[in-house]
Each structure stands twice: as structure tokens, then as C-alpha cells.
Amino acid sequence: MSIFDDDDIDDVDALTDEDRDALAAEKAGISYEPEPQPSREVVAEKEDLSRKLAEERERFARADERRISAGEARDPRQPQQPQGPPSRLGSRPDDYLDPIGADIWDVRRENELLVQRFEAQQRTAEQNESSARSRMAPTNSAWHTRIIKRPSGTAGDADGESLSAGTGTEG
């Protein structure tokens, strides 16, 4: 005699997994013994342990967040996004959702800042060159060479030749 009567089984989908296992074992001619149900104490202990595990995970997550924020406050050299002028790259991808995209964004942003720094240095160098050239250009200042006529009859000046002096005094 079978545990299940053929008349009782109208729909195999209505059976539980345990009932299906029992039916398959009976058809195979094997005796089926269901898994023993855990005691209420074991179930309560398992639920208590699951709850404690969830609390510990939450506690560690909060501690990790505090550690990360404290590390960012202590180490300003590694900001979340490179500081500087506004970027044409758009917003930075989230590290958790797209770590590779965030790394690529960081490299491109660093490159963009280096190009901007290089261009600023070039402008400064060009300004320095142009101001140095303008200082070197001749002007009518007292520091430029003037021609001084010696009076006739002085030593070494038989024919009234002229002398050049940087300060305007004879030497």
C-alpha cells in the first residue's frame, strides 16, 4: 500500500518538496524517511544567531565608514576627486559601482590638470621672455653709451677724438 493514493494526487505541482521526494522514493521501491524537524530551541538559537550576525555586520559597516571618513579628513592628499578648475569630463563614476571607470576618470582628470599646468607655465615663460626683451631694448636712459667730446689739447687726444663711456664720466 502506498502513502499516497492515486486518487489523492490530482496535481503534482501542489505537492511540497518533501512529498515529491517521498513519492519518488516509493516509486523506486526505497523507504523514505523525512528529515527530522529541528527542535524549537534549535530554531530559536538559529534565529538569535542570525540576528546577532546582522547586528555585527551593521556595526562593522558603521565602523568602516567612520574609519574611511576619518582617513579622508587626516589625509587631504588623496581626495575623492582631484581638486582644481572645473572639468570637461563630467561627474566622476562611483568607485563601488564602476571602479574601472572611476580609475579611468582619475587618470584623465590628472592628465587634464597637467595639461592646464603646462599651458599656464608656458604663458608665464612667454610673459617673462617678453618682459626681458623689453628691458633689453635700447632706450634713452642715462645707462646707455653717450659720446663725450674731449676738449682739444688734452693728453692722448691730438685731434679731438670722442670717447665712449657707460656712466658719462671720462676714464
| pTM to 2 decimal places | 0.32
The helix (H) or strand (E) run that includes residue 147 is strand 146-149
Residues 56-113: tens digit of each pLDDT: 999 988 888 888 888 777 765 554 555 666 778 788 888 888 889 889 999 999 999 9
Q: What would the grid cell of residue 148 be?
A: 663725450
Residues 148-167: tens digit of each pLDDT: 666 666 555 555 455 554 55
Secondary-structure breakdown of the chain: helix, strand, coil percentages, each rounded to the nearest 5: 50, 5, 45
Identify the DSSP state of 82.
Answer: -
Separation in Å, CA 111 to CA 6, 75, 86, 89: 76, 22, 14, 11
Place of cell 664720466: 169
Q: Considering the chain, what is the average pLDDT of its residues?
A: 75
